[in-house]
Structure formats: structure tokens, C-alpha cells
């Protein structure tokens, strides 16, 4: 039992983490390992400064805590400090994965899934394959001097099938990926016929895609691409620590400002099972659903306790650390564009000539965004046409948000186990994203 001292705020976060990483390259087992690490991150606040410690000695956390107290100065009025007052005092046990932990699945079963996926990649054009299985199970504990007591867990597992194709001067790299929170569910969604079909589509694309003629065109983003667009182009700008001390950004991002099309709503939520699931953030704040844009109007932003107090708003449960080696900072969880009211067919029917972006290599951006697509197709008279090579689509964030003129009536939310979100020195952080099919009346295509 930890003993917290009067005159300070303190909290302690403990993670008991299990990971598996299997790599099969060109049919050869390159890596196959499972590991377990238990670490703790401790913080003490005296009203003036934060004092941090990270340790693997979780059996003697009191010693670490006392060391932080020794460096700080007690404050008789600490309980009236606005930051301390804003910390929630939650007591909960929220364990969803104890009876299906990936730590209990034999390594042989995981390896068999990897080999089956690798065998589904066929074709003379396939020059390299790398199939990866990654899983993680984390049990968390959180305690604070205000009386918070939390126990909760997180789990994810997934398979990535990356391949390189080449024929003559043509070449292409891409990856198929599926993830879930339970191994049995993952095993059922990693389908040989689906992988085979995806590889064949990429081979056809490599051989037949024509260069695009640069210009401004109507564009439809597939749900995964729309999710990355929301994450990269708008989600990061919604992380409140970016505007602390920046008066220009505060004015630009005043709540209630018109920032997008009337039909556009974007939210961030830690409540959905998947790679962005966070029942409580790393400061003990209960996760919720925060609308960032609602009907085109700036409706909210993502907060830690400190940024919420600084801007006179409420914490949102978005203080997250990539591990117990780091302090929590403001991060997204699962960022999603809300669905609209058009069928997919109606959405495409509204495009005389434009382009469909089916998937992507990567995206980035703040005020100006860029998306580097992989599979793209021409749209002619509302129908999918020939494959085309597009190096990048780009634009001003606010302008592009205002040009969203159609949303399909169904959305998809995606989880991933490779990659992740990077911010400052903390990467990769598990996040999710998604949305419907999104039609934008004009985007710069290169």
C-alpha cells in the first residue's frame, strides 16, 4: 500500500505488459519472441513543478515515491491548486481480456497463422514478402493521492502481410493488415482468399496503372484513407498542448468557429474496442467521446488535465504515454469522421470525372496536409474506371474541410498493430481511426 504525503499531489501508473513479435521473411522465420515487462511511472506535483520517475522495480514503489517527495517542496494549499482540483477520483475494475489473453495463446498457433498468411501471397511478380504477427496484453493499475484506484486492461493482436512486386520496369509495394482485440476473432478475419485477391489487385494495378494528369479534381476517399486524413490533418491540430502559449492559434481555433462543411462531424473516442481503446487515460480521467467538429463547427479539443485548466475547459481523457518510460501528453485515441446520408453508389454518382483513393502509404500535415496514395482509380460518369498512379494529394486543411460535399451512410473503424502515432519522442502509440466514404469537391492531385 502506497503512502501519499500531505502537501503534494502524486499519482502512480503501473503496466504489466506482454508482447509477441513474429516475422516471416520470404518464408523464413526471422524472429519469434514473446516478452513480459512490468514498469511503473510516478509523478509528484508541488504546485510549482512536476517531478517524474520511471522504474522496473515495482516491488519498491514507495522508495521511488519518497525520492520524488524529497526533491519537491510541500504546499499547504495544494488541494486548492486548480490543476489538482481538476484530477478525477475514479475507482473501478475494468478487465475485459482476462479470459482471452493473447499471453495464453501458444506461440505455435500464432506462428501457424503467420505461415498460412504467407502462403496466400502468390504470383511470379512477387519478389519479397514479410509477414508479421504482433500482439500485446497490458494490465494497468493507477493510484493517486486524491484516492483514485483503477485496474483495467488493454489488448490487441494483428497480422501484416507486406509484399514487393516487380515486372520489368514496373514495381509496387503494399501491405494487407488485419487486427482485433481477440486472437480467435483475428484468426477468423485473416482469410487466404482475401489476401490472394488483394495481391492480384496490386499486380493488376502495377501492370496497368497510368500516370495521372496533375490538377484539381473531385476526390473520394475510402474509409481508411478518410480516417488517416482526419487523424493527420485535423486530429493533431485538436491536441490542446499545441496551442498553449500560442495566441494566434487560440484565435484561429476558437470554439464555435466555422471550420468545415455543414455535413462534416469528426470525433475522438477511447470507448470503442480496438487499437485506440482507452477506458481511462494515464492521469486517471475516464475516457469519453469528444466531438472536435460538429456540423462544420469547431466543437471541442483534446485535453490533459493541465491543458484543460490552462484553456478553461474540461479534461477529455486524452493524456496518454506510449509506455511507463514516459510522462502522459495529449494524444488521440480513435479519431472518426461521422457517417452521412448517401449510399456509396449515390456518392460516386455525383462525380463526373475525378479519382477514388482506395488506400495509402502514409499521410501527414497540420495547416497543409499531404496523402501519398497507393491504389487509386479514375471515376468517370459516377463509375470506377482505370487504375492511375498518384504521387500525392494535398491541400489546405480548412479549405479542404469546407469542400466535403458527400458522406456515405456507413462508416468503418480500423485497428492496426504496425506503425502507430508519433509525437515528440513518444512513438509508436496505438491509435484507431476511420470514417465513411468521403467525397471532396476539389483536391490537388499530383
Domain ranges of the chain: 9-208, 215-445
- Whose CA is closest to 199, among 131, 134, 135? 131
pLDDT at residue 374 greater than cutoff 80: yes
Cβ-proximal residues to 405 (8 Å cutoff; 6+ apart), any chain = 261, 263, 350, 439, 440, 441
- Whose CA is closest to 130, among 22, 19, 202? 22
d(CA 158, CA 114): 10
d(CA 285, CA 150): 10
- Which pLDDT value is given to residue 132? 98
Average pLDDT over residues 265-276: 95
pLDDT at residue 250 greater than cutoff 90: no
pLDDT at residue 3 greater than cutoff 90: yes
Average pLDDT over residues 8-26: 98
Range list of β-strands (E), 103-196: 126-144, 149-167, 170-180
* Per-residue pLDDT reduced to its tens digit, 127-184: 999 999 999 999 999 999 999 999 999 999 999 999 999 999 999 999 999 999 999 9
- Which pLDDT value is given to residue 343? 97
Question: Which overall architecture, per CATH, does domain 9-208 show?
Answer: 2-Layer Sandwich (3.30)
* Per-residue pLDDT reduced to its tens digit, 113-128: 999 999 999 999 999 9
- Which pLDDT value is given to residue 191? 96
| Contact indicator for 229, 371 with CB cutoff of 8 Å | yes
Average pLDDT over residues 416-440: 93
The percent of residues in the chain predicted with pLDDT above 70, rounded, is 100
Greatest CA separation for the chain: 75
Q: Is residue 253 very low, low, confident or very high in pLDDT (cuts 50, 70, 90)?
A: confident
pLDDT at residue 60 greater than cutoff 80: yes
d(CA 259, CA 442): 16
- Which pLDDT value is given to residue 125? 97
Please list the residues that pair with 364 across neighbouring strands.
Answer: 370
The dihedrals phi and psi of 59, each to the nearest 5 degrees, come to -85, -10
- Which pLDDT value is given to residue 366? 67
Residue with cell string 506510449 = 322
d(CA 306, CA 109): 45
The dihedrals phi and psi of 15, each to the nearest 5 degrees, come to -125, 125
d(CA 73, CA 112): 56
pLDDT at residue 269 greater than cutoff 70: yes
Mean pLDDT taken over the chain:
95
Cβ-proximal residues to 387 (8 Å cutoff; 6+ apart), any chain = 204, 205, 208, 209, 210, 375, 376, 377, 378
* Per-residue pLDDT reduced to its tens digit, 313-370: 999 999 999 999 999 999 999 999 999 999 999 999 999 999 999 998 877 766 788 8
- Which pLDDT value is given to residue 249? 82
pLDDT at residue 312 greater than cutoff 80: yes
Please list the residues that pair with 17 across neighbouring strands.
Answer: 37, 138
- Which pLDDT value is given to residue 420? 87
Cβ-proximal residues to 360 (8 Å cutoff; 6+ apart), any chain = 224, 225, 228, 371, 372, 373, 374
d(CA 227, CA 428): 17
Amino acid at each position: 500500500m502506497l503512502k501519499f504525503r500531505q502537501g503534494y499531489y502524486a499519482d502512480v501508473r503501473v503496466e504489466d505488459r506482454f508482447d509477441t513479435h513474429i516475422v516471416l521473411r520470404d518464408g523464413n522465420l526471422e524472429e519469434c519472441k514473446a516478452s513480459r515487462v512490468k514498469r511503473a511511472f510516478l509523478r509528484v506535483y508541488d504546485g510549482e513543478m512536476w517531478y517524474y520517475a520511471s522504474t522496473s522495480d515495482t516491488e519498491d514503489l514507495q522508495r521511488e515515491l519518497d525520492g520524488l517527495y524529497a526533491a519537491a517542496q510541500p504546499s499547504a494549499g495544494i488541494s486548492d491548486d486548480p490543476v489538482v482540483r481538476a484530477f478525477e477520483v475514479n475507482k473501478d475494475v475494468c478487465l475485459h481480456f482476462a479470459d482471452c489473453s493473447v499471453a495464453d495463446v501458444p506461440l505455435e498457433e500464432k506462428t501457424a497463422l503467420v505461415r498460412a498468411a504467407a502462403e496466400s501471397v502468390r504470383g511470379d511478380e512477387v519478389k519479397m514478402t514479410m509477414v508479421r504477427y504482433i500482439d500485446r496484453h497490458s494490465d494497468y493499475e493507477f493510484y493517486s493521492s486524491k484516492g483514485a484506484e483503477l485496474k483495467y486492461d488493454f489488448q490487441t493482436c494483428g497480422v501484416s502481410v507486406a509484399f514487393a512486386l516487380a515486372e520489368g520496369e514496373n514495381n509496387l509495394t503494399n501491405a494487407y493488415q488485419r487486427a482485433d482485440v481477440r486472437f480467435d476473432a483475428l484468426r477468423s478475419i485473416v482469410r487466404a482468399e482475401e489476401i490472394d485477391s488483394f495481391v492480384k489487385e496490386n499486380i493488376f494495378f502495377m501492370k496497368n496503372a497510368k500516370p495521372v494528369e496533375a490538377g484539381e479534381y473531385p476526390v473520394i476517399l475510402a474509409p481508411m484513407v478518410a480516417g488517416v486524413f482526419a487523424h493527420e490533418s485535423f486530429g493533431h491540430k485538436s491536441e490542446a498542448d499545441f496551442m498553449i502559449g500560442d495566441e494566434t492559434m487560440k484565435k484561429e481555433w476558437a470554439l464555435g468557429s466555422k471550420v468545415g462543411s455543414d455535413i462534416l462531424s469528426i470525433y475522438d473516442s477511447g470507448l470503442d474496442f480496438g487499437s485506440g481503446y482507452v477506458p481511462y487515460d494515464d492521469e486517471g480521467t475516464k475516457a469519453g467521446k469528444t466531438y472536435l467538429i460538429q456540423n462544420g463547427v469547431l466543437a471541442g479539443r483534446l485535453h490533459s488535465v493541465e491543458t484543460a485548466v490552462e484553456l478553461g475547459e474540461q479534461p477529455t481523457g486524452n493524456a496518454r504515454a506510449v509506455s511507463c518510460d514516459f510522462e502522459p501528453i495529449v494524444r488521440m485515441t480513435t479519431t472518426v469522421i461521422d457517417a452521412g446520408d448517401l449510399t456509396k453508389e449515390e456518392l460516386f454518382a455525383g462525380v463526373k470525372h475525378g479519382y477514388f483513393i482506395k488506400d495509402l502509404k502514409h499521410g501527414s500535415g497540420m495547416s497543409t496536409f499531404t496523402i501519398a496514395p497507393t491504389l487509386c482509380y479514375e471515376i468517370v460518369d459516377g463509375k470506377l474506371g482505370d487504375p492511375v498512379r498518384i504521387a500525392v494529394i494535398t491541400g489546405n486543411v480548412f479549405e479542404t474541410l469546407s469542400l466535403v460535399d458527400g458522406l456515405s451512410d456507413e462508416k468503418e473503424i480500423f485497428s492496426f498493430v504496425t506503425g502507430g502515432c508519433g509525437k515528440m519522442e513518444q512513438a509508436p502509440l496505438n491509435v484507431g481511426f476511420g470514417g465513411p466514404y468521403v467525397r471532396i469537391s476539389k483536391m490537388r492531385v499530383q
